[in-house]
Structure 1
Amino acid sequence: MAIQEGRWDCRSCGTVGILGRRKSCPNCGRSRPEGTRFYLPEDAQEVTDEARLQEARSGADWLCSYCGASNSATLEACGGCGADRADSERQAVRDYALDEIPRSGDNAPDSPARQEGARTPPPRRRGSLRKFLVAGGVVGGILLLLFLVFRPRHETLTVTGFSWEREIDVEAYRTVTEEGWDLPHGARVKKKWRDIHHYEDVLDHYETRTRKVSERVQTGTERYVCGKRDLGNGYFEDRYCTRPKYETRYRTETYREPVYRKEPVYRMKYRYDVEKWVHDRTKRAAGEDREPEWPPLRLAKNERAGKRTEHYFVHFTDEEKKRYRKEVSEAQWRRYEVGKRYSARVSRSGEVLEVTFPETKR
């Protein structure tokens, strides 16, 4: 069992981090009182000195019932006043789970300079920090370069003209020939036949196969460190628990696997004539004026107007006479004025992303 030396704090003068082996405070000389809380720092080293190991294993300290001094379990008389041990109380022995191990004592750590046996923190590794800063600088530089390359730029654009496009789909009511599994209303059957509609999985037979399967088997038990024991004398030792030990074993087993076949499912299929509205043509109109209009339609008795679409474009140039075009709604399109300048955000690829209208004075 690994043994580590703990620490304790003096309640009288506030000294913290006193080595567990000491029975009195090295600062004020007061004896370690009853109920002192021993604690184990995270960086406590394992005790390897044989004399210290014997001291740790000798048992809990006892407290003199006459003067209150703390004494080693190996002493039969008080080292402070010489009184016989008799029925003097012993320091408590406590067990802690790994997540319950005390890491601080009775006093808060006021000043590192007052801690006895405190370890000097290792110097910071400047090399690692430098590498981290260099790598961070490189990544930051790349991100900045990408931002500068793809960041939209602000331009002052002048309106040079307008254009528009309008379209109307024309539909005709015609007789069409189609095929399908169901007959729509008004269909006239030209041909029908049984055809494969889909396939279903049908059990055909079973085949015997083998496979490897794994299972967890207990092979014994093992001891593991499950906590620490406060030995009541300034030292701590590992506390062990026992748990079952398992291993994975494999075996081959035989099983029957179902084999399925694809069985076609037939349904009646039809070829039929039916009257329906179908797309016939698209009529288009376009212009570069401010008077958009729909294309004129001449519809036969079996025709009708279908979907209507419209597009409106504003044309700009920048100060270097580079041309741009932006599609907008009709309402926005009518707000622009030829020759007027607007502030705009333009992507690096030349797309006008946003145009700001000047505020209207009231």
Structure 2
Amino acid sequence: MSKRIRIIEGTWNCSSCDTKGILARHKRCPNCNNPRELTDDESEFDFGDTDAATGKSLREGVTDEKALELARAGVDWFCAYCGASNRGDQPSCKQCKAERTQDAKALGEKELPGPAPRPVPQRGASKKGTFTKVGLVVLGGLFFCCFGTMIYGVWMTRTSDYPGQLVGAEWKRAVIQERFSPVTLEGWKDELRLQPPRMPIDGSGEFAGVQNIRSCVSSRRGTRQVADGTRQVCRTKTRKKACGTEEKCQTRDKGNGFREEVCKDVTRYCDESYEDCHDETRYRDEPIYALKCSYDAYQWKEVARREASGRDGEPPRWPELSMKGEDRLKREESYKLLVEYEKGGRQQAPLELKTEKEFLAWKKGQPVSVTVTNGGEVKQLLPR
């Protein structure tokens, strides 16, 4: 891997007479004879453009031996007395003959950044195309959709307190009579075991039983996946492959108006497409059949119901229903308050209560403090 070294000469602009593009080898302006000084305009050199891909300077390299000698002289320094620019190997100022002192300012050598490196060779990288871009768009859309839904859900559950009052109350109660009655049911034969029923005593202790298993028919019980051969699946992928060489250059600023450019040939890599194929097992759904049978058993069945309801100041009561034999009674009850509050205008919302004790603690017209979600659900009432 051979190296090629060039010296690139910069240019500077005279701030005294506005002469442009003075070669770095001149420490004085060829037009006005003013020395180059440590100013923003004169201390900075212009080296022209470089090739972005290779880092190589687009200027011709210096071949003049006198200029090459200046490039090797070291970093320039500026006289602490008169400010003139001097060669790095000069012990005294060429302008005022003052000796170089420790407080004489000097430029410095520095490595300059080279061209951006190419991607590191990889094997088996999936080919990026329209599908990948579409996939990213879809995933991004799903993410923002889900994220937005989550934020909205959180906002809907946030609560605030408002002044209000109770404008209504209602209750409902029901008494249900149930009887342990014979029924015909269906079940899978391998899960059924003949057992006699047991009748309830005082409405409890019953057992449904399984009797007279009959009329068994083969029925679809579910599905299972079974292997159904293989198929070859191929995906187009890309990998990096050496495909010759390319020139890359690194530059070092010598601090005296010259740059040293080192260029060398490095391996160049190109994308190569290939098919990555492998066998993939295929599966299919296979139905599972079993015998489904009818059988006799017992269940609690509703035979009678009595309901009662009331509003506002009417006290809750249970409806009357007499029980016969080994029947049993079930009770159901619900209580609800209607709350009115101020939230950008008058709003009304119900509040479900669980017990009669909670319900009786509130009266219609009572002022309350209402805790409501942004979704309009009443979470809590407190007296005011």
> So what's the TM-score if we normalise by structure 1?
0.49
> So what's the TM-score if we normalise by structure 2?
0.47
